[in-house]
């Protein structure tokens, strides 16, 4: 598996989580996006005292991860769920707080490379895009049922697509004669309706629409928004939350949620700290960090990563 999957920013992620792990005799880390367990495998290998609670919504990923982590059984519990259900998962596991939470957002290489799952515009496949294959909503269903204004909103908000109204209208028009059910049909439709100059710039013109549909199918942003406050509350003192985002909409949500909890509650310039006004959280570094050039060269997926990290400093 290592040839097909290089975990993004593995060393930096582990480095950021390490103080929360080594300061405890029996630390617990939640890997909220277990995927193929690239990060979890290394954490379990390097820290023999560590237990990991692994969460993923994708049954196929869960099966591969479980196999890969077999040698650590006893130190791993795996849940097929979305990471915003953290409270119930920790209740089931039997702990109130954890020492670290790790989120490596977005799609996995497994999902992207499984042609039949319809995540990739470069391969022809049914427009599925579900991370959890038991879910009802697919990209195909969105194209068949959403109104023109709903489609426009999705493409504009989640894809930053300036030709959203044109694409949405063409999707609705196609419903009568030739409904769009496959990835290449959608790519062709997009190429047909956007102006020629736009077709020649900025990579594949279908990229933004595919991103938007994937976000909508999997409620990616609303889950992240709901999950972050819960994740912060579930950190023990000294606990750390590390998030890897791959597009600006995700990163903006992380930035905003972190800013909310590190902002001083005292008036600006207030000279002393007052009891009851101490912040519960502190950023591990300002802003976001990128992958090194060296990592990007060996793993192009690292190109778009933005890392943010925060720790709990008080109850
Ligand atoms: C980028 S991959 C993680 C890769 C993993 N860190 C590794 O090294 O193998 C993201 C994973 O998160 C899962 N995922 C995305 N959103 C999720 C959510 N809201 N809840 C649970 N899992 C989610 C996807 O199914 C995918 O397997």
Question: Same structural domain for residues 27 and 155?
Answer: no
Q: How confident is the model at residue 311 (pLDDT cuts 50, 70, 90)?
A: very high
Q: Are 220 and 250 in contact (CB under 8 A)?
A: yes
Q: Which of 183, 217, 251 is a domain's end point?
A: 217
How many whole angstroms separate alpha carbon 249 and alpha carbon 251?
6
Pocket test for ligand 1, best of 10, 14, 35, 130 (most atoms within 8 A of CB): 35
198 and 77 in a single domain? The answer is: no
Range of the domain at 255: 10-110+220-312
pLDDT over 90 percentage in the chain: 88
**Mean pLDDT across 81-100:** 98
3 within a domain of the structure (yes/no): no
In a domain, 89, yes or no: yes
**Cα 305 to ligand 1 centre (Å):** 14
Choose one of 217, 238, 255: the last residue of a domain: 217
Mean of all residue pLDDT scores within the chain: 95
Give the tens place of pLDDT for each residue, 161-204.
999 999 999 999 999 899 999 999 999 999 999 988 877 777 88
Give the integer Cα–Cα distance in Å for 195 and 145. 26
Given 172, 201, 217, the domain boundary residue is: 217
Residue 89, pLDDT score? 98
Q: Is residue 118 part of a domain?
A: no
Structural domain includes residue 142: yes
The number of distinct structural domains making up the chain is 2
275 and 231 in a common domain: yes
Q: Is residue 279 part of a domain?
A: yes
- CB atoms closer than 10 angstroms to residue 130: 21
Site to probe by mutation for ligand 1, drawn from 14, 56, 103, 111 as the one with most ligand atoms within 8 Å of Cβ, is 56
Ligand 1 centroid–CA 35 distance in Å is 5
Check residue 3 and give its pLDDT: 43
Residue 171 lies in a domain: yes
Give the per-residue pLDDT at 1: 40
Query: E strands, 165-292, where?
Result: 235-245, 281-283
* Shared domain check, 233 and 194: no
Residue 4 binned pLDDT confidence (cut-offs 50, 70, 90): low
99, containing H or E segment: strand 98-104
Q: What digits encode the pLDDT tens for the residues 226-278?
A: 999 999 999 999 999 999 999 999 999 999 999 999 987 777 777 777 777 78
306 within domain boundaries: yes
- 272 CB-side CA count, 13 A: 3
């Amino acid at each position: 598996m290592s040839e097909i999957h290089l975990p993004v920013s593995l060393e930096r992620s582990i480095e950021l989580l390490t103080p929360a792990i080594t300061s405890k005799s029996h630390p617990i880390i939640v890997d909220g996006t277990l995927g193929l367990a690239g990060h979890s495998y290394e954490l379990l290998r390097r820290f023999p005292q560590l237990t990991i609670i692994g969460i993923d919504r994708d049954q196929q990923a869960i099966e591969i991860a479980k196999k890969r982590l077999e040698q650590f059984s006893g130190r791993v519990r795996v849940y097929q769920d979305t990471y915003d259900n953290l409270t119930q998962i920790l209740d089931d596991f039997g702990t109130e707080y954890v020492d670290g939470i790790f989120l490596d957002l977005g799609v996995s290489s497994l999902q992207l490379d499984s042609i039949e799952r319809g995540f990739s515009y470069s391969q022809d496949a049914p427009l599925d895009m579900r991370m959890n294959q038991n879910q009802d909503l697919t990209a195909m269903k969105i194209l068949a049922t959403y109104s023109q204004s709903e489609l426009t909103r999705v493409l504009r908000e989640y894809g930053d697509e300036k030709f959203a109204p044109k694409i949405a209208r063409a999707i609705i028009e196609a419903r009568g004669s030739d409904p769009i059910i496959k990835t290449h049909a959608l790519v062709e439709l997009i190429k047909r309706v956007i102006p020629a100059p736009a077709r020649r710039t900025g990579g594949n013109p279908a990229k933004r629409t595919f991103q938007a549909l994937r976000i909508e199918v999997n409620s990616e942003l609303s889950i992240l928004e709901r999950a972050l406050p819960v994740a912060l509350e579930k950190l023990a003192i000294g606990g750390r939350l590390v998030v890897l985002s791959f597009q600006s909409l995700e990163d903006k949500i992380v930035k905003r949620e972190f800013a909310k909890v590190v902002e001083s509650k005292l008036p600006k310039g207030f000279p002393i700290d007052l009891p009851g006004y101490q912040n519960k959280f502190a950023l591990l570094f300002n802003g976001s960090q990128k992958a090194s050039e060296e990592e990007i060269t060996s793993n192009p997926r690292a190109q778009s990563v933005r890392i943010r990290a925060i720790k709990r400093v008080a109850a």
